């Protein structure tokens, strides 16, 4: 999820058709004129939902169309009252390819009536919107949904409804629509490993405007259309120093501290992962059916590649309709949240050059919709690889028939040291032979001086941190970071798949966190982060219970999985970092064992990672052996 125009404007063409992008006025006028020449445009259609609430909807149809049209449908909490460059181009391209294009604001957003809820009531309002589109005289009864981030996440719960008009979907970066799937209990990315992801503070600051000026409900469409020409209803939020504000305690009043809108944040931050209310809203959970062919688009440096890939596999294994099971395809780029499309021959993600990551998302999207919405026998299912992914380090696109690739083999690497793995200058080792000596590494975790986040899969942090791959050595220089490094590789190693981590830990605190980072170390010492994760110890026996720690005991901790495709070249080293914080990406555990969200006082934890024959702390890497 996001609210930054710059982020949205770098998506693939269609996901950008939900919010203005920056361009000079003359260029906007030219694009508007081009669209008007080919389009029949009906703005601010006030589409009624089952309870009488009306949602503001814009409809674009090609003027020269003959017969009923398939529809591309984008639904969003973001403002589209004034279209930007990319939105205009996307709509124009859809019409030129023989589609009607419909975009709609969620309930309670801008000119739509009612009260907003995160994900926008997909099971009722989303369903009713498809009813309305399918019933129009210009519709052929087939609708394809599309969008990135918030414009994608609502599609997942809708897919569970199996609406007869919902012919296909293209969800991009849609993890915040997933509640529980497989080992992931993130509840819409609110958590990772039971730890609150701080991005929701800054994101909801600009999006949850539940307190807002609004037009009176029941106005005629003519009045709404007229008023929309000079009242935009888009708030301009005051600037916030999120670097400073993320440090505010307690978490529950962080939104109040910046005088942000009341409502959603304060409610959700007080929920634990097992709160039954998570199962009452718009999130999709893996106990539900799935009824829609889906072309998934994800990124390695996004907040939710793991849950998205787990959901892809879940549908492939469990969808009742064989056509739906077979109609699941996925593309994974090496970029950050919604930053798919690029025309550059070199793409920098954080500090790392990923080389040429170009991919024709638009061509694949139209082939996908042409097949499912128009009935064209274009062989898209036969000619498109089931899984297409970019392998970082190798810097090339690869394909597979499944995720992870069937040839991936799990290779276990073990943590070891002589008891002093603290920092880059310690003696931490990583190898494929289990340790024989009974050793442990100890480190303090003081929540008032947490380890600073440095890249990774994240979005929407408003300048507090940036996503991507960065040199980690400044974090690794800290004494409260354990560093385990392999010998230089004698042969290249491709890691492609889901990564498991098991730690044997102890602490003198009732509760604490353990964060893990996988790093590619170049021969010159540059240490690029590949992926990272975190786990709250109190949830080690499941997210439906909280079990606290006792001093002197050793606990097995299965850390929330990671997912990637990375080529570690010959002469490089594999490194694992372990600490107890990654802030402000993840909220700090105050180590008290209490609620955490309503606390202001912290306890310093003295944490232990064990590694021995009895306690083999390890990382399990999916290795694909390819000839180069």
Domains of the chain, CATH where assigned: 5-400 (3.40.50.1820), 409-624 (2.60.120.260)
- In the prediction, which pLDDT does 23 show? 60
The DSSP secondary-structure symbol of 471 reads B
> What are the tens digits of pLDDT across the range 429-478?
999 999 989 999 999 999 999 999 999 999 999 999 999 999 999 999 99
- Compute the distance between CA of residue 11 and CA of residue 5 in angstroms, rounded to an integer: 10
Sign of CA dihedral 565, 568, 569, 570: negative
Residues 6 or more apart whose Cβ sits within 8 Å of residue 182: 286, 310, 313, 314
Instruction: For 403-481, list the strands marked E by DSSP.
Output: 409-416, 429-431, 439-445
> What are the tens digits of pLDDT across the range 322-376?
999 999 999 999 999 999 888 889 999 999 999 999 999 999 999 999 999 999 9
Q: Kindly report the average pLDDT of the chain as a whole number.
A: 94
- In the prediction, which pLDDT does 353 show? 97
Encoding tokens for residue 497?
Answer: 């798949």
Residues 6 or more apart whose Cβ sits within 8 Å of residue 309: 298, 330, 332, 403, 498, 563
Residues 6 or more apart whose Cβ sits within 8 Å of residue 578: 415, 481, 482, 484, 503, 514, 515, 516, 517, 609
Residue 3: band (very low, low, confident or very high) from pLDDT cuts 50, 70, 90: very low
> What are the tens digits of pLDDT across the range 535-568?
999 999 999 999 999 999 999 999 999 999 999 9
Q: State yes or no: pLDDT of 404 exceeds 50.
A: yes
Instruction: Please name the residue ranges forming H helices in 100-210.
Output: 127-135, 150-161, 199-207
**Buried/exposed 513-537: b ≥16 CB within 10 Å, e otherwise:** bbbbbbbbbeeeebbbbbbbbbbbb
Residue 16: band (very low, low, confident or very high) from pLDDT cuts 50, 70, 90: very low
Encoding tokens for residue 268?
Answer: 């959700």
Q: Which residue has the tokens 């606390």?
A: 599
Q: State yes or no: pLDDT of 19 exceeds 70.
A: no
Q: State yes or no: pLDDT of 394 exceeds 60.
A: yes
φ/ψ (deg, to 5) at 147: 155, 165
- In the prediction, which pLDDT does 628 show? 58
Residue 627: band (very low, low, confident or very high) from pLDDT cuts 50, 70, 90: low
Tell which residue, 9, 148, 143, 177, has the closest CA to residue 88: 9
> What are the tens digits of pLDDT across the range 214-230?
899 999 999 999 999 99
Share of residues in the chain with pLDDT > 70 (%): 96
Encoding tokens for residue 184?
Answer: 């992931």
- In the prediction, which pLDDT does 18 show? 39
Give the side-chain half-sphere CA count within 13 A for 528.
23
Encoding tokens for residue 368?
Answer: 């996908």
pTM for this model (two decimals) = 0.94
Q: State yes or no: pLDDT of 387 exceeds 60.
A: yes
What mean pLDDT is predicted for residues 520-543? 98
> What are the tens digits of pLDDT across the range 259-301?
998 889 999 999 999 999 999 999 999 999 999 999 999 999 9
What mean pLDDT is predicted for residues 48-68? 95
């Amino acid at each position: 999820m996001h609210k930054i125009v710059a982020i949205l404007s770098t998506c693939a063409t269609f996901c950008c058709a939900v919010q203005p992008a920056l361009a000079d006025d003359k260029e906007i006028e030219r694009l508007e004129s081009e669209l008007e020449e080919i389009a029949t445009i009906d703005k601010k259609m006030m589409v009624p939902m089952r309870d009488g609430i009306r949602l503001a909807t814009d409809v674009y149809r090609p003027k020269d169309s003959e017969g009923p049209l398939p529809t591309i449908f984008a639904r969003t909490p973001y403002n589209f009252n004034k279209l930007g460059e990319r939105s205009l181009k996307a709509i124009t391209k859809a019409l030129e390819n023989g589609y009607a294009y419909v975009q709609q604001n969620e309930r309670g957003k801008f000119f739509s009536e009612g009260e907003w809820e995160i994900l926008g009531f997909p099971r009722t309002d989303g369903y009713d919107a498809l009813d309305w589109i399918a019933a129009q005289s210009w519709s052929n009864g087939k609708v394809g949904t599309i969008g990135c981030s918030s414009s994608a996440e609502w599609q997942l719960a809708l897919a569970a409804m199996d609406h007869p008009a919902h012919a296909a979907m293209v969800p991009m970066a849609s993890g915040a629509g997933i509640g529980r799937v497989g080992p992931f209990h993130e509840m819409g990315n609110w958590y990772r490993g039971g730890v609150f992801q701080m991005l929701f503070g800054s994101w909801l600051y600009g999006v949850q405007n539940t307190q807002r000026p609004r037009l009176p409900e029941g106005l005629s469409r003519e009045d709404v259309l007229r008023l929309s020409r000079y009242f935009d209803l888009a708030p301009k939020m005051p600037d916030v120093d999120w670097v400073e504000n993320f440090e505010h305690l307690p978490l529950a009043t962080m939104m109040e501290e910046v005088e942000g809108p009341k409502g959603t944040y304060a409610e959700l931050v007080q929920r634990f992962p097992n709160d039954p209310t998570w199962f009452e809203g718009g999130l999709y959970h893996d106990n539900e059916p799935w009824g829609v062919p889906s072309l998934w688009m994800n990124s390695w440096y996004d907040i939710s590649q793991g849950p998205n890939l787990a959901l892809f596999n879940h549908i492939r294994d469990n969808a009742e309709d064989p056509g739906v099971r077979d109609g699941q395809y996925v593309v994974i780029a090496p970029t950050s949240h919604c930053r798919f499309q690029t025309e550059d021959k070199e793409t920098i993600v954080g500090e790392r050059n990923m080389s040429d990551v170009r991919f024709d998302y638009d061509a694949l999207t139209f082939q996908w919709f042409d097949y499912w919405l128009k009935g064209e026998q274009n062989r898209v299912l036969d000619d498109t690889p089931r899984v297409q992914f970019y392998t970082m380090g190798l810097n090339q696109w690869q394909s597979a028939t499944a995720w992870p690739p069937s040839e991936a083999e799990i290779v276990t690497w073990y943590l070891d040291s002589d008891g002093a793995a603290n920092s880059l200058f310690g003696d931490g080792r990583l190898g494929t032979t289990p340790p024989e000596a009974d050793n442990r590494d100890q480190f303090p975790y003081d929540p008032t001086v947490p380890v600073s986040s440095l890249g990774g899969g994240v979005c929407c942090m408003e300048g507090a941190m940036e996503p991507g791959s960065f040199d980690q050595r400044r974090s690794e220089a800290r004494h409260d970071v354990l560093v385990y490094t392999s010998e230089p590789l004698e042969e290249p190693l491709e890691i492609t798949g889901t990564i498991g981590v098991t730690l044997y830990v102890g602490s003198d605190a009732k509760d604490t966190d353990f964060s893990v980072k996988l790093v590619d170390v170049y021969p010159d010492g540059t240490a690029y982060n590949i992926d990272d994760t975190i786990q709250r110890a109190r949830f080690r026996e499941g997210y439906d219970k909280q079990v606290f720690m006792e001093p002197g005991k050793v606990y097995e901790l299965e850390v929330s999985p990671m997912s990637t495709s990375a080529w570690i070249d010959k002469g490089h080293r594999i490194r694992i970092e372990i600490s107890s914080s990654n802030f402000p990406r993840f909220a700090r555990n105050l180590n008290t064992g209490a609620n955490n969200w309503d606390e202001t006082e912290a306890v310093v934890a003295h944490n232990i990672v064990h590694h021995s024959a009895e306690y083999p702390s390890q990382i399990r890497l999916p290795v694909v052996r390819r000839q180069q």
